[in-house]
Amino acid sequence: MEKDAVSAGVSEVGGLFNTAEIKILVCYIISSINKPVPGQMLANVLHYEGIANCFEVNDAIASLCKNGHLELIDEKEDIYIITESGKDIAETLKTSLPLTVKDRAYTAALKMVSRFRNSKESDIKITKEDGKTFITCSAKDNGVPFMSVKLLVSDEEQALFIKNKFLNDSGIYSEIIELLTK
C-alpha cells in the first residue's frame, strides 16, 4: 500500500503509514477492548509504541466519528465507543493488518484503558509535611475512598514513581486487602 500518512515518530518496522490501515486499527482496538476508550490517550499510546503518528490517529478517530463508525460519548473526557458499522469494519478488515502490529497495539491499549480506569477509581496526593514528602493513595468506589495508604517517601521523584505504579497495576488494591486479611 502507498504511504499516505505522516510518519513522524513511527517505526519503519511495525509501523503503519497508510490512513486506511490506521482507521482499521482504531476500529480493531476499540472493538476488541469493547470498552469506552479515551481518544487522545489512544493516539498517544500508538505513537509512543511507534505504531502510528498521533496526529494521524486523531484524524482517523475524527473521520470514523464523522462516518458513524465511532461515537463520542463524553466530550469532556474525549471518550469513544464503537458503533455496529465500526465493529463490522474491524471484523471484515482485521486480517489486512500485520499480526504483530495488532498484538502490540492491543496490548498497549489494554494497559492504557486499565490505567485510565484506575485513575478514575483512585485519588493520589503528594504532600510535604515538616520538610518530608508523603504520598497518599486512595482507592474509590462510587467516589468514596474505601482504602487509603499514606507513605513517607524520600522525595517527589519516588512519589511519582509510586503514583505511576499504583495507577498502572489494578491488582494493588486486592493484594493489600489479601495481605491485611491473611
Digitized pLDDT (tens) for each residue of the chain, 182 residues in all: 444 444 444 444 456 778 899 999 999 999 998 889 999 989 988 998 888 988 999 999 999 999 999 999 999 989 999 999 999 999 998 888 888 888 888 888 888 887 787 777 788 899 999 999 999 988 887 778 788 889 999 999 999 999 888 877 766 777 777 788 77
List C-alpha distances in Å: 79 to 20, 74, 117.
22, 5, 12
Other C-beta atoms closer than 10 Å to the C-beta of 55 total: 14
